[in-house]
Structure 1
Amino acid sequence: ISFSLAPGERVGLVGPNGSGKSTLIRLVADLLQVRRGSVTIDGRPNHTRASREQLCYIASNDTLPQFLTGREYIELMHRLYRTTPDAAAVDDLLDRYQMGARQFDLIEDYSHGMRKKIQLVSALSLGRPLTIIDETLNGVDVDALFEFEIDAARIADDRGLLLCSHDFRLLENVCDRVIVL
Protein backbone atom coordinates (compact mmCIF):
# COMPACT_ATOMS: atom_id res chain seq x y z
CA ILE A 1 0.00 0.00 0.00
CA SER A 2 1.11 3.52 -0.67
CA PHE A 3 -0.68 6.65 0.47
CA SER A 4 -0.01 10.09 1.84
CA LEU A 5 -1.88 12.25 4.27
CA ALA A 6 -1.38 15.99 4.00
CA PRO A 7 -1.78 18.50 6.84
CA GLY A 8 -5.43 19.44 7.02
CA GLU A 9 -6.57 16.18 5.45
CA ARG A 10 -8.89 13.59 7.00
CA VAL A 11 -8.44 10.09 5.62
CA GLY A 12 -10.64 7.13 6.46
CA LEU A 13 -9.54 3.53 6.46
CA VAL A 14 -12.10 0.78 5.96
CA GLY A 15 -12.06 -2.89 5.05
CA PRO A 16 -13.23 -6.29 6.21
CA ASN A 17 -11.95 -7.87 9.41
CA GLY A 18 -8.44 -9.18 8.89
CA SER A 19 -7.68 -6.91 5.93
CA GLY A 20 -4.79 -5.21 7.74
CA LYS A 21 -6.26 -1.89 8.88
CA SER A 22 -4.98 -2.06 12.45
CA THR A 23 -1.68 -3.53 11.32
CA LEU A 24 -1.20 -0.63 8.90
CA ILE A 25 -1.99 1.87 11.64
CA ARG A 26 0.44 0.17 14.04
CA LEU A 27 3.12 0.32 11.34
CA VAL A 28 2.55 4.05 10.86
CA ALA A 29 2.67 4.61 14.64
CA ASP A 30 5.91 2.58 14.87
CA LEU A 31 4.35 -0.05 17.11
CA LEU A 32 5.31 -2.71 14.57
CA GLN A 33 8.50 -2.77 12.51
CA VAL A 34 8.24 -2.36 8.77
CA ARG A 35 9.74 -5.41 7.01
CA ARG A 36 9.71 -3.93 3.52
CA GLY A 37 9.15 -0.41 2.34
CA SER A 38 9.14 2.66 4.51
CA VAL A 39 6.89 4.93 6.52
CA THR A 40 7.71 8.60 6.88
CA ILE A 41 6.09 11.34 8.91
CA ASP A 42 6.87 14.89 7.85
CA GLY A 43 9.72 13.56 5.71
CA ARG A 44 11.41 11.61 8.52
CA PRO A 45 11.37 7.86 9.17
CA ASN A 46 8.50 7.00 11.50
CA HIS A 47 10.80 5.33 14.05
CA THR A 48 12.53 8.60 14.97
CA ARG A 49 11.53 10.39 18.14
CA ALA A 50 10.69 13.53 16.17
CA SER A 51 8.22 11.55 14.03
CA ARG A 52 6.61 9.79 16.98
CA GLU A 53 6.12 13.14 18.75
CA GLN A 54 4.15 14.34 15.72
CA LEU A 55 1.37 11.83 16.22
CA CYS A 56 -1.21 10.73 18.71
CA TYR A 57 -2.46 7.17 18.37
CA ILE A 58 -5.65 5.89 20.00
CA ALA A 59 -5.88 2.11 19.96
CA SER A 60 -9.08 0.16 19.41
CA ASN A 61 -8.99 -1.23 22.94
CA ASP A 62 -9.98 0.70 26.02
CA THR A 63 -7.18 -0.52 28.28
CA LEU A 64 -6.36 2.48 30.45
CA PRO A 65 -4.68 2.82 33.86
CA GLN A 66 -7.47 1.88 36.27
CA PHE A 67 -5.93 3.75 39.22
CA LEU A 68 -6.11 7.17 37.54
CA THR A 69 -9.05 9.51 37.23
CA GLY A 70 -10.06 10.63 33.76
CA ARG A 71 -8.52 14.06 34.37
CA GLU A 72 -5.27 12.48 35.60
CA TYR A 73 -5.13 10.36 32.45
CA ILE A 74 -5.42 13.46 30.27
CA GLU A 75 -2.70 15.20 32.28
CA LEU A 76 -0.47 12.11 32.06
CA MET A 77 -0.80 12.04 28.28
CA HIS A 78 0.20 15.69 28.11
CA ARG A 79 3.22 15.05 30.36
CA LEU A 80 4.31 12.22 28.06
CA TYR A 81 4.29 14.68 25.15
CA ARG A 82 5.94 17.37 27.32
CA THR A 83 3.02 19.77 26.93
CA THR A 84 0.71 21.53 29.33
CA PRO A 85 -3.00 20.99 28.76
CA ASP A 86 -5.15 24.03 28.10
CA ALA A 87 -7.49 23.67 31.09
CA ALA A 88 -10.34 25.60 29.47
CA ALA A 89 -10.12 23.55 26.27
CA VAL A 90 -10.03 20.29 28.25
CA ASP A 91 -13.02 21.40 30.33
CA ASP A 92 -14.92 22.23 27.15
CA LEU A 93 -14.14 18.82 25.63
CA LEU A 94 -15.06 17.00 28.83
CA ASP A 95 -18.39 18.82 28.98
CA ARG A 96 -19.21 18.30 25.32
CA TYR A 97 -18.38 14.58 25.57
CA GLN A 98 -20.49 14.37 28.75
CA MET A 99 -17.51 13.49 30.92
CA GLY A 100 -17.25 16.70 32.96
CA ALA A 101 -19.14 15.32 35.94
CA ARG A 102 -17.08 12.10 35.89
CA GLN A 103 -13.60 13.47 35.20
CA PHE A 104 -12.46 12.98 38.82
CA ASP A 105 -13.83 9.43 39.10
CA LEU A 106 -11.42 6.52 38.78
CA ILE A 107 -11.20 5.00 35.31
CA GLU A 108 -11.96 1.61 36.86
CA ASP A 109 -15.50 2.90 37.43
CA TYR A 110 -15.96 3.99 33.80
CA SER A 111 -18.05 2.08 31.30
CA HIS A 112 -16.54 0.97 28.00
CA GLY A 113 -17.95 4.01 26.20
CA MET A 114 -16.69 6.40 28.87
CA ARG A 115 -13.16 5.01 28.53
CA LYS A 116 -13.35 5.59 24.80
CA LYS A 117 -14.56 9.15 25.33
CA ILE A 118 -11.73 9.97 27.75
CA GLN A 119 -9.28 8.65 25.12
CA LEU A 120 -10.87 10.97 22.54
CA VAL A 121 -10.75 13.98 24.85
CA SER A 122 -7.09 13.27 25.57
CA ALA A 123 -6.18 12.96 21.88
CA LEU A 124 -8.16 16.01 20.85
CA SER A 125 -6.64 18.13 23.61
CA LEU A 126 -3.11 17.07 22.63
CA GLY A 127 -3.54 18.56 19.16
CA ARG A 128 -0.71 16.64 17.49
CA PRO A 129 -0.06 17.23 13.77
CA LEU A 130 -1.32 13.69 13.08
CA THR A 131 -4.10 12.01 15.05
CA ILE A 132 -4.64 8.31 14.39
CA ILE A 133 -7.85 6.74 15.65
CA ASP A 134 -8.26 2.97 15.33
CA GLU A 135 -11.88 1.92 15.91
CA THR A 136 -12.04 4.04 19.06
CA LEU A 137 -15.51 5.32 18.19
CA ASN A 138 -17.07 1.86 18.45
CA GLY A 139 -19.10 1.82 21.63
CA VAL A 140 -19.52 5.56 22.16
CA ASP A 141 -22.97 7.09 22.32
CA VAL A 142 -24.68 9.04 19.54
CA ASP A 143 -24.07 12.41 21.21
CA ALA A 144 -20.32 11.73 21.37
CA LEU A 145 -20.29 10.70 17.70
CA PHE A 146 -21.96 14.00 16.82
CA GLU A 147 -19.36 15.94 18.84
CA PHE A 148 -16.58 13.96 17.20
CA GLU A 149 -17.82 14.89 13.73
CA ILE A 150 -17.56 18.56 14.75
CA ASP A 151 -14.10 18.05 16.25
CA ALA A 152 -12.89 16.10 13.22
CA ALA A 153 -13.65 19.13 11.06
CA ARG A 154 -11.55 21.24 13.45
CA ILE A 155 -8.69 18.74 13.33
CA ALA A 156 -8.51 19.22 9.59
CA ASP A 157 -7.87 22.94 9.91
CA ASP A 158 -4.14 22.36 10.30
CA ARG A 159 -3.62 18.74 11.30
CA GLY A 160 -4.09 15.35 9.74
CA LEU A 161 -6.52 12.65 10.82
CA LEU A 162 -6.31 8.95 9.98
CA LEU A 163 -9.55 7.32 11.08
CA CYS A 164 -10.17 3.58 10.95
CA SER A 165 -13.79 2.53 11.33
CA HIS A 166 -16.34 0.02 10.10
CA ASP A 167 -18.94 2.80 10.21
CA PHE A 168 -18.91 3.92 6.58
CA ARG A 169 -21.50 6.63 7.29
CA LEU A 170 -19.11 8.19 9.82
CA LEU A 171 -16.22 8.00 7.37
CA GLU A 172 -18.32 9.65 4.66
CA ASN A 173 -19.34 12.46 7.02
CA VAL A 174 -15.89 13.08 8.47
CA CYS A 175 -13.26 12.20 5.88
CA ASP A 176 -12.05 13.89 2.73
CA ARG A 177 -11.31 10.49 1.23
CA VAL A 178 -11.52 6.84 2.21
CA ILE A 179 -8.98 4.09 1.59
CA VAL A 180 -10.52 0.63 1.19
CA LEU A 181 -8.34 -2.36 2.07
Structure 2
Amino acid sequence: MSIEVEGVTKLYGNQKALNSISFKVNKPEIVGFLGPNGAGKSTMMKILTTYLNANEGHIKVNGFDTTRNIKDVQLSVGYLPEHNPLYLEQYVKEYLAFNANIYNVSKQRIDEVIEITGLRPEAHKKIGQLSKGYRQRVGLANALLHDPDVLILDEPTTGLDPNQLVDIRNLIKSVGKTKTVFLSTHIMQEVEAMCDRVIIINKGEIVADKKLKDLRDEKEQVVIVEFDYRVEDAFLLKLPKVKSVINPHDFVYEITFKTSEDMRSSVFDFAHDNQLKILQLNQKNANLESLFRDLTSK
Protein backbone atom coordinates (compact mmCIF):
# COMPACT_ATOMS: atom_id res chain seq x y z
CA MET A 1 0.00 0.00 0.00
CA SER A 2 1.53 3.34 -1.07
CA ILE A 3 -0.57 5.67 1.07
CA GLU A 4 -2.58 4.78 4.19
CA VAL A 5 -4.57 7.51 5.94
CA GLU A 6 -6.58 6.56 9.01
CA GLY A 7 -8.78 8.90 11.07
CA VAL A 8 -6.81 12.06 10.32
CA THR A 9 -7.98 15.33 11.87
CA LYS A 10 -6.24 18.69 11.51
CA LEU A 11 -7.18 21.78 13.49
CA TYR A 12 -6.29 25.41 12.87
CA GLY A 13 -7.32 26.94 16.17
CA ASN A 14 -10.95 25.92 16.62
CA GLN A 15 -11.48 25.26 12.92
CA LYS A 16 -11.35 21.69 11.60
CA ALA A 17 -9.55 21.66 8.25
CA LEU A 18 -9.77 17.83 8.18
CA ASN A 19 -12.31 15.82 10.14
CA SER A 20 -11.33 12.19 10.77
CA ILE A 21 -10.68 11.23 7.14
CA SER A 22 -9.45 7.83 5.97
CA PHE A 23 -8.41 6.38 2.60
CA LYS A 24 -5.82 4.10 0.98
CA VAL A 25 -3.98 4.34 -2.34
CA ASN A 26 -2.32 1.47 -4.21
CA LYS A 27 0.57 1.40 -6.69
CA PRO A 28 0.44 2.13 -9.57
CA GLU A 29 -2.62 4.35 -9.43
CA ILE A 30 -3.45 7.96 -10.29
CA VAL A 31 -5.88 9.35 -7.73
CA GLY A 32 -7.52 12.74 -8.00
CA PHE A 33 -8.19 14.49 -4.69
CA LEU A 34 -11.04 16.75 -5.70
CA GLY A 35 -12.82 19.45 -3.74
CA PRO A 36 -13.87 23.09 -3.74
CA ASN A 37 -11.48 25.78 -2.56
CA GLY A 38 -10.96 25.56 1.20
CA ALA A 39 -12.09 21.93 1.41
CA GLY A 40 -8.82 20.72 2.98
CA LYS A 41 -6.91 19.47 -0.08
CA SER A 42 -3.65 21.37 0.43
CA THR A 43 -3.68 20.62 4.17
CA MET A 44 -3.85 16.88 3.41
CA MET A 45 -0.99 17.21 0.91
CA LYS A 46 1.20 18.99 3.44
CA ILE A 47 0.53 16.32 6.06
CA LEU A 48 1.39 13.53 3.60
CA THR A 49 4.73 15.19 2.88
CA THR A 50 5.49 15.77 6.63
CA TYR A 51 5.35 19.56 6.22
CA LEU A 52 2.46 19.59 8.73
CA ASN A 53 1.48 17.21 11.51
CA ALA A 54 -2.06 15.98 12.06
CA ASN A 55 -3.73 16.51 15.42
CA GLU A 56 -5.21 13.02 15.34
CA GLY A 57 -4.89 9.88 13.23
CA HIS A 58 -2.15 7.84 11.57
CA ILE A 59 -0.53 8.08 8.13
CA LYS A 60 1.90 5.78 6.35
CA VAL A 61 3.58 6.53 3.02
CA ASN A 62 5.39 3.57 1.45
CA GLY A 63 5.11 1.86 4.82
CA PHE A 64 6.80 4.72 6.70
CA ASP A 65 5.01 6.59 9.48
CA THR A 66 4.86 10.33 8.75
CA THR A 67 5.58 11.26 12.36
CA ARG A 68 8.20 8.64 13.30
CA ASN A 69 9.97 8.09 9.96
CA ILE A 70 10.04 11.62 8.56
CA LYS A 71 13.30 11.28 6.60
CA ASP A 72 12.21 7.98 5.02
CA VAL A 73 8.90 9.50 3.95
CA GLN A 74 10.62 12.52 2.41
CA LEU A 75 13.04 10.33 0.46
CA SER A 76 10.24 8.15 -0.94
CA VAL A 77 7.97 11.04 -2.00
CA GLY A 78 8.22 13.52 -4.86
CA TYR A 79 6.27 16.70 -4.12
CA LEU A 80 5.13 19.53 -6.38
CA PRO A 81 3.40 22.18 -4.25
CA GLU A 82 0.69 24.48 -5.60
CA HIS A 83 3.08 27.43 -5.78
CA ASN A 84 6.07 25.87 -7.51
CA PRO A 85 9.20 27.17 -5.67
CA LEU A 86 11.88 27.76 -8.29
CA TYR A 87 15.07 29.83 -8.42
CA LEU A 88 14.30 31.93 -11.50
CA GLU A 89 17.89 33.11 -12.00
CA GLN A 90 19.25 29.57 -12.24
CA TYR A 91 19.48 27.62 -15.46
CA VAL A 92 17.35 24.49 -15.72
CA LYS A 93 20.30 22.11 -15.46
CA GLU A 94 21.88 24.22 -12.72
CA TYR A 95 18.70 24.05 -10.63
CA LEU A 96 18.35 20.28 -11.11
CA ALA A 97 22.05 19.74 -10.32
CA PHE A 98 21.61 21.73 -7.09
CA ASN A 99 18.76 19.46 -6.00
CA ALA A 100 20.48 16.30 -7.24
CA ASN A 101 23.33 17.13 -4.87
CA ILE A 102 20.86 17.40 -1.97
CA TYR A 103 19.37 14.00 -2.83
CA ASN A 104 22.83 12.56 -3.54
CA VAL A 105 21.77 11.20 -6.93
CA SER A 106 23.98 10.87 -10.01
CA LYS A 107 24.35 13.58 -12.65
CA GLN A 108 23.07 11.01 -15.16
CA ARG A 109 19.70 11.19 -13.43
CA ILE A 110 19.45 14.89 -14.37
CA ASP A 111 19.54 14.00 -18.07
CA GLU A 112 17.02 11.23 -17.48
CA VAL A 113 14.40 13.49 -15.86
CA ILE A 114 14.98 16.18 -18.50
CA GLU A 115 14.16 13.55 -21.12
CA ILE A 116 11.16 12.16 -19.18
CA THR A 117 9.59 15.60 -18.71
CA GLY A 118 10.29 16.89 -22.24
CA LEU A 119 12.58 19.69 -21.03
CA ARG A 120 15.31 19.09 -23.60
CA PRO A 121 14.41 22.05 -25.89
CA GLU A 122 14.47 24.50 -22.95
CA ALA A 123 17.21 22.96 -20.79
CA HIS A 124 19.77 25.63 -21.77
CA LYS A 125 17.58 28.53 -20.54
CA LYS A 126 17.18 30.27 -17.23
CA ILE A 127 14.02 29.20 -15.39
CA GLY A 128 12.79 32.82 -15.41
CA GLN A 129 12.70 32.70 -19.23
CA LEU A 130 10.38 29.69 -19.33
CA SER A 131 6.62 29.63 -19.84
CA LYS A 132 4.34 28.50 -17.00
CA GLY A 133 4.03 25.08 -18.65
CA TYR A 134 7.78 24.54 -18.80
CA ARG A 135 8.20 25.77 -15.23
CA GLN A 136 5.74 23.07 -14.18
CA ARG A 137 7.89 20.56 -16.08
CA VAL A 138 10.92 21.74 -14.11
CA GLY A 139 8.98 21.22 -10.90
CA LEU A 140 7.97 17.72 -12.00
CA ALA A 141 11.54 16.93 -13.06
CA ASN A 142 12.75 17.98 -9.62
CA ALA A 143 10.06 15.85 -7.93
CA LEU A 144 11.22 12.85 -9.98
CA LEU A 145 14.97 13.35 -9.44
CA HIS A 146 15.33 10.80 -6.63
CA ASP A 147 13.01 8.32 -8.41
CA PRO A 148 10.32 8.30 -5.68
CA ASP A 149 7.57 5.66 -5.55
CA VAL A 150 4.91 8.29 -4.76
CA LEU A 151 4.29 11.61 -6.47
CA ILE A 152 2.16 14.17 -4.61
CA LEU A 153 1.03 17.03 -6.84
CA ASP A 154 -0.93 20.01 -5.51
CA GLU A 155 -2.95 21.73 -8.29
CA PRO A 156 -0.37 20.78 -10.98
CA THR A 157 -2.30 22.23 -13.95
CA THR A 158 -3.45 25.58 -12.52
CA GLY A 159 -2.83 28.51 -14.87
CA LEU A 160 -1.76 26.47 -17.90
CA ASP A 161 -3.03 27.20 -21.41
CA PRO A 162 -4.85 24.42 -23.37
CA ASN A 163 -1.69 23.16 -25.11
CA GLN A 164 0.30 23.13 -21.88
CA LEU A 165 -2.58 21.30 -20.17
CA VAL A 166 -2.45 18.46 -22.69
CA ASP A 167 1.33 18.12 -22.33
CA ILE A 168 1.28 18.04 -18.52
CA ARG A 169 -1.68 15.64 -18.47
CA ASN A 170 0.15 13.22 -20.77
CA LEU A 171 3.29 13.50 -18.66
CA ILE A 172 1.42 12.72 -15.44
CA LYS A 173 -0.41 9.78 -17.06
CA SER A 174 2.91 8.40 -18.30
CA VAL A 175 4.52 8.67 -14.86
CA GLY A 176 1.41 7.07 -13.30
CA LYS A 177 2.00 3.82 -15.20
CA THR A 178 4.75 2.84 -12.76
CA LYS A 179 4.24 5.11 -9.73
CA THR A 180 1.51 6.23 -7.36
CA VAL A 181 0.32 9.72 -8.25
CA PHE A 182 -1.88 11.58 -5.76
CA LEU A 183 -2.95 14.94 -7.14
CA SER A 184 -5.24 17.61 -5.79
CA THR A 185 -7.40 19.83 -7.96
CA HIS A 186 -10.70 21.65 -8.02
CA ILE A 187 -11.00 21.16 -11.81
CA MET A 188 -13.16 18.14 -12.61
CA GLN A 189 -12.00 17.88 -16.22
CA GLU A 190 -8.45 17.26 -14.99
CA VAL A 191 -9.58 14.30 -12.90
CA GLU A 192 -11.55 12.82 -15.80
CA ALA A 193 -8.59 13.31 -18.17
CA MET A 194 -5.87 11.81 -15.95
CA CYS A 195 -7.12 9.76 -13.03
CA ASP A 196 -8.10 6.15 -12.34
CA ARG A 197 -9.99 7.11 -9.20
CA VAL A 198 -11.42 10.18 -7.50
CA ILE A 199 -11.72 11.05 -3.82
CA ILE A 200 -14.01 14.03 -3.20
CA ILE A 201 -13.53 16.11 -0.06
CA ASN A 202 -15.90 18.79 1.19
CA LYS A 203 -15.55 20.86 4.35
CA GLY A 204 -12.80 18.58 5.63
CA GLU A 205 -14.71 15.32 5.14
CA ILE A 206 -14.54 12.68 2.41
CA VAL A 207 -17.92 12.52 0.67
CA ALA A 208 -17.07 10.12 -2.19
CA ASP A 209 -14.39 7.63 -3.20
CA LYS A 210 -14.99 6.10 -6.63
CA LYS A 211 -13.21 4.52 -9.56
CA LEU A 212 -13.68 6.67 -12.66
CA LYS A 213 -14.69 3.59 -14.63
CA ASP A 214 -17.46 2.78 -12.15
CA LEU A 215 -18.62 6.38 -12.20
CA ARG A 216 -18.93 6.34 -15.98
CA ASP A 217 -20.81 3.02 -15.92
CA GLU A 218 -23.39 4.09 -13.36
CA LYS A 219 -26.93 4.06 -14.71
CA GLU A 220 -27.83 7.66 -14.13
CA GLN A 221 -28.85 10.52 -16.34
CA VAL A 222 -29.44 14.23 -16.01
CA VAL A 223 -32.38 15.92 -17.73
CA ILE A 224 -32.10 19.69 -18.12
CA VAL A 225 -35.47 21.40 -18.40
CA GLU A 226 -36.47 25.06 -18.52
CA PHE A 227 -40.06 25.98 -17.65
CA ASP A 228 -41.84 29.30 -18.17
CA TYR A 229 -42.01 29.94 -14.42
CA ARG A 230 -40.57 28.67 -11.16
CA VAL A 231 -41.43 25.20 -9.86
CA GLU A 232 -40.84 24.01 -6.32
CA ASP A 233 -38.14 21.31 -6.09
CA ALA A 234 -40.51 19.22 -3.96
CA PHE A 235 -42.87 18.76 -6.90
CA LEU A 236 -40.07 17.64 -9.24
CA LEU A 237 -38.82 15.20 -6.61
CA LYS A 238 -42.14 13.33 -7.01
CA LEU A 239 -41.16 12.29 -10.54
CA PRO A 240 -40.45 8.54 -10.91
CA LYS A 241 -36.86 7.37 -10.31
CA VAL A 242 -35.69 10.89 -9.48
CA LYS A 243 -32.55 11.18 -7.35
CA SER A 244 -31.98 14.92 -7.01
CA VAL A 245 -33.05 18.31 -8.32
CA ILE A 246 -30.83 21.37 -8.75
CA ASN A 247 -32.02 24.83 -9.77
CA PRO A 248 -28.80 26.46 -11.11
CA HIS A 249 -30.48 29.65 -12.30
CA ASP A 250 -33.79 31.24 -13.26
CA PHE A 251 -36.35 28.60 -14.29
CA VAL A 252 -33.79 25.97 -15.35
CA TYR A 253 -33.69 22.65 -13.46
CA GLU A 254 -31.21 19.79 -13.62
CA ILE A 255 -33.01 16.60 -12.62
CA THR A 256 -30.91 13.50 -11.95
CA PHE A 257 -32.64 10.15 -12.46
CA LYS A 258 -31.36 6.81 -11.15
CA THR A 259 -32.00 4.94 -14.40
CA SER A 260 -30.64 4.59 -17.93
CA GLU A 261 -34.16 4.91 -19.34
CA ASP A 262 -34.81 8.17 -21.17
CA MET A 263 -36.89 10.18 -18.71
CA ARG A 264 -37.61 13.20 -20.90
CA SER A 265 -41.10 11.89 -21.66
CA SER A 266 -41.86 11.79 -17.93
CA VAL A 267 -40.75 15.41 -17.58
CA PHE A 268 -42.88 16.35 -20.59
CA ASP A 269 -45.92 14.63 -19.09
CA PHE A 270 -45.29 16.40 -15.78
CA ALA A 271 -45.26 19.77 -17.55
CA HIS A 272 -48.45 18.97 -19.46
CA ASP A 273 -50.30 17.81 -16.32
CA ASN A 274 -49.29 20.95 -14.45
CA GLN A 275 -49.96 23.35 -17.35
CA LEU A 276 -46.31 24.34 -17.67
CA LYS A 277 -44.59 25.38 -20.89
CA ILE A 278 -41.22 23.77 -21.63
CA LEU A 279 -38.71 26.19 -23.15
CA GLN A 280 -35.91 23.61 -23.40
CA LEU A 281 -35.58 19.91 -22.66
CA ASN A 282 -32.18 18.20 -22.98
CA GLN A 283 -30.50 15.10 -21.68
CA LYS A 284 -26.90 14.51 -20.61
CA ASN A 285 -25.10 11.62 -18.99
CA ALA A 286 -24.51 11.90 -15.27
CA ASN A 287 -20.78 12.51 -14.79
CA LEU A 288 -18.22 13.63 -12.31
CA GLU A 289 -19.42 17.21 -12.48
CA SER A 290 -22.97 16.36 -11.43
CA LEU A 291 -21.70 14.11 -8.62
CA PHE A 292 -19.36 16.84 -7.42
CA ARG A 293 -22.06 19.50 -7.41
CA ASP A 294 -24.52 17.20 -5.69
CA LEU A 295 -22.07 16.35 -2.90
CA THR A 296 -20.50 19.76 -2.35
CA SER A 297 -23.50 22.03 -2.66
CA LYS A 298 -25.30 20.58 0.37
Aligned pairs (5 A) from 1:131-170: 131-170=151-190
1:100-124 CA distance string (max 9 Å, x none): 3432322233344432231123334
Amino acid paired to 1:92: E
Aligned to 1:51: 73
CA distance in structure 2 between the aligned counterparts of 1:53 and 1:90, rounded to whole angstroms? 17
1:144 is paired with a residue whose SS is: helix
Q: Which has the higher strand share?
A: 2
Whether the 8 Å contact between 2:114 and 2:141 is mirrored in structure 1 is no
1:16-35 CA distance string (max 9 Å, x none): 11111000100110001111
Question: What is the TM-score with the length of structure 1 in the denominator?
Answer: 0.85
Matched length: 178
Question: What is the TM-score with the length of structure 2 in the denominator?
Answer: 0.54
CA distance in structure 2 between the aligned counterparts of 1:100 and 1:158, rounded to whole angstroms? 22
Amino acid paired to 1:136: P
Aligned pair partner of 1:177 in 187, 194, 197: 197
Whether the 8 Å contact between 1:153 and 1:174 is mirrored in structure 2 is yes
2:44 matched to 1:4?
Answer: no
Give ranges in structure 1 of 5+ residues lacking alignment.
none
Give ranges in structure 2 of 5+ residues lacking alignment.
1-20, 202-298
Taking only aligned residues, the RMSD between alpha carbons, in angstroms, comes to 2.1
Aligned to 2:112: 89
Cα pair distance change 1:44/1:123, threshold 3 Å: closer
Q: Which has the higher helix share?
A: 1
2:90 is paired with a residue whose SS is: coil
Whether the 8 Å contact between 1:8 and 1:155 is mirrored in structure 2 is no
Among all aligned residue pairs of Structure 1 and Structure 2, give the percentage whose two residues are the same amino acid.
25
CA distance in structure 1 between the aligned counterparts of 2:168 and 2:182, rounded to whole angstroms? 14
* Larger radius of gyration between Structure 1 and Structure 2: 2
Deviation at 1:125, TM superposition (A): 4.9
Whether the 8 Å contact between 1:114 and 1:140 is mirrored in structure 2 is no
